[in-house]
Amino acid sequence: MVTAHQAKQRFSELLERAHAGEEVVVSKCGKPYAKLAPLEPVDKVPLGFLKGSVEDAFFEPLPDEARVPGIVS
């Protein structure tokens, strides 16, 4: 456990420790206040994961009544 003051001074080091798998608890006024912890790995979504196709009409400009005032297209 590190104090908030120590965490502020050594943030880069604590961030690296958390990235390496360690959970770092930050205390304030002697009580646990927050925790730095590693994130779970995120699986990358492969390109082309959506099946099907988009019709050509999707790329056509919207009719005037569907446009937002003040936005130039």
CATH code for the domain of 2: 3.40.1620
Domain that holds residue 31: 1-38
Q: Give the strand pairing for 24-28 and 31-36.
A: antiparallel
Mean pLDDT of the chain: 88
28 falls within a domain = yes
50 falls within a domain = no
Which range has the top average pLDDT, 29-38, 41-50, 51-60? 29-38
Report the number of distinct structural domains present in the chain. Answer: 1
12 falls within a domain = yes
71 falls within a domain = no
pLDDT at 73 over 60: no
65 falls within a domain = no
Query: Pick the residue with more confidence: 51 or 15?
Result: 15
29 falls within a domain = yes
59 falls within a domain = no
Task: Give CA torsion, residues 39, 41, 42, 46, to 10 deg.
Answer: 160
pLDDT of res. 1: 94
